[in-house]
Amino acid sequence: MNSTLNQWLTGQIDDLKLNSLYKEQLVLESPCNSRITINGKSGIINLASNNYLGLANHRDLVAAACEAAQNWGAGAGAVRPITGTLQIHVDLEKQLAAFKHTEAALVFQSGFTSNAGVIPTITDGNDVILTDELNHASIIDGVRLSKAQRKIYKHCDLRSLEEGLQASTAASKRLIITDGVFSMDGDIAPLQGIVELARRYDAAVMVDDAHGSGVMGGGRGTAYHFGVHHDVDIQLGTLSKAVGVMGGYIAGSRPLIDWLTQRARPFLFSTAQPAPVVAAIMAAIRLMDRDSSLTDKLWENAAFWKSGLQGLGFDTGVSQTPITPVMIGDEAVAMKFQHELLNEGVLALAIVYPTVAQGKARIRTMPSAMHSRENLIDALGAFKRAAATVGLL
């Protein structure tokens, strides 16, 4: 390795460690269940996963994946525009469009590549993108890939958004982009107000519903929850959180999807998802479509968990969803708290800069449908003990 580069990398890593910003990679030694094995220690309560509905190991998904592997093989063999589009991909996209109540849908390899695919493909240098200041990193990077001018509006602030719209009337097109559910704080975008402003100022609306998919609106997402799904031009969903598998998708009009198949670079130049992945996703969507019990259990557990943390004196911020941050502030304390929680049998990760602003460190907890009441009671006890150890309560 080049010595200058290696010295720079070593210095950067040392600096992260000095400022309590270096995060060790955790390795699970068991499936992603409510209790997991990590670092050789079994029975750890898992409060760090995005597996909201517990579908990652659901028997229906596993059976569907195994059957598809036998029928279609292990890989698609090409990018979608060549010979990588299997009939099962087409079936999934029809299923997703019906589930989301849109004309069409297009599947990407991840939610991140969905944003990288759609944003620069539908905007150009004559356009303006208005983006919430706390939008996900994949939105930020998608906007950076676009040649459009960008205006960042204050978080969930409709007045700030309107000021941006008023200042951008010369643009050819205007696109408002927001997360549906914000992943670090668990709050929800004011989509009804955003849609109203978009109508007034002739702007398009895009909602990244990675953390709303399978969680809000009976699983159909935040736009459906607010009843504005017909007024949202572009809906991004993930297939790797509540759905329990991997991938992302864009749902919207037929012209939107047709254009993306012609110009969206992540779609054009990435090998298609393997059929076992697609089949497992389809099984998950069928489950979500016919049975709300897992979503109901998720929200029941989330309410119990929030109430328990608040009862112990923890600050859970502005969360309105199962994403439940325990606000700490100091990065070193947050990292120490994570360590003590693991000693007490709970995996809940510290979120520090640059994922959140400096001085805004927190432990992000993710109660799910797979947790029993006993799991959550045990976890509350662990939080109380760990907090006492690090001097938080």
**Whether residue 136 sits in one domain with residue 123:** yes
**Whether residue 381 sits in one domain with residue 351:** yes
Single out the residue of 237, 354, 330, 244 nearest to residue 295, CA to CA.
244
**Whether residue 243 sits in one domain with residue 298:** no
Q: Which of 13-27, 115-129, 264-278, 281-295 has the lowest mean pLDDT?
A: 13-27
Residue 188 located in a structural domain: yes
Strands 361-365 and 174-179: what pairing?
Answer: unpaired
Single out the residue of 189, 82, 172, 83 nearest to residue 132, CA to CA.
189
Length of the chain counted residue by residue: 393
**Whether residue 208 sits in one domain with residue 231:** yes
User: What is the rounded average pLDDT of the residues 6-13?
Assistant: 95
Per-residue pLDDT reduced to its tens digit, 102-139: 999 999 999 999 999 999 999 999 999 999 999 999 99
pLDDT for 71 equals: 97
Categorize the per-residue pLDDT at 89 as very low, low, confident or very high, splitting at 50, 70 and 90: very high
Domain C-terminal end among 225, 255, 290: 290
Residue 43 has pLDDT above 70, yes or no: yes
Per-residue pLDDT reduced to its tens digit, 314-347: 999 999 999 999 999 999 999 999 999 999 999 9
Strands 204-208 and 248-252: what pairing?
Answer: unpaired
User: Which of the residues 58, 100, 151, 211 is marked catalytic?
Assistant: 211
Q: Catalytic annotation on 58?
A: no
SS (H, E, C) 215-253: CCHHHCCHHHHHCCHHHCCEEEEECCCCCCCCCEEEEEC
Helices and strands of the chain, counted as H and E runs: 14, 13
pLDDT for 23 equals: 84
**Whether residue 199 sits in one domain with residue 318:** no
The kind and range of the H/E element at 285 are helix 275-290
Categorize the per-residue pLDDT at 24 as very low, low, confident or very high, splitting at 50, 70 and 90: confident
**Whether residue 179 sits in one domain with residue 88:** yes
Rounded to whole angstroms, the Cα distance separating 149 from 128 reads: 5
Domain, as residue range, for 145: 57-290
Residue 3 located in a structural domain: no
Rounded to whole angstroms, the Cα distance separating 247 from 355 reads: 22
Residue 16 located in a structural domain: no
**Whether residue 263 sits in one domain with residue 187:** yes
**Whether residue 301 sits in one domain with residue 284:** no
Q: Catalytic annotation on 307?
A: no
Categorize the per-residue pLDDT at 1 as very low, low, confident or very high, splitting at 50, 70 and 90: low
What's the domain count of the chain?
A: 2
Q: Catalytic annotation on 94?
A: no
Per-residue pLDDT reduced to its tens digit, 346-361: 999 999 988 899 999 9
User: Which of the residues 49, 110, 114, 183 is marked catalytic?
Assistant: 183
Domain C-terminal end among 290, 321, 346: 290
Q: 172-211 b/e with 16+ CB inside 10 Å = b?
A: eebbbbbbbbbbbbbbbbbbebbbebbeebebbbbbbbbb
What is the value of pTM for the model shown? 0.95
**Whether residue 329 sits in one domain with residue 254:** no
**Whether residue 161 sits in one domain with residue 127:** yes
Per-residue pLDDT reduced to its tens digit, 185-229: 999 999 999 999 999 999 999 999 999 999 999 899 999 999 999
User: Which of the residues 58, 100, 225, 241 is marked catalytic?
Assistant: 241
**Whether residue 370 sits in one domain with residue 233:** no
Single out the residue of 33, 367, 374, 353 nearest to residue 215, CA to CA.
367
Categorize the per-residue pLDDT at 391 as very low, low, confident or very high, splitting at 50, 70 and 90: very high
Residue 15 located in a structural domain: no
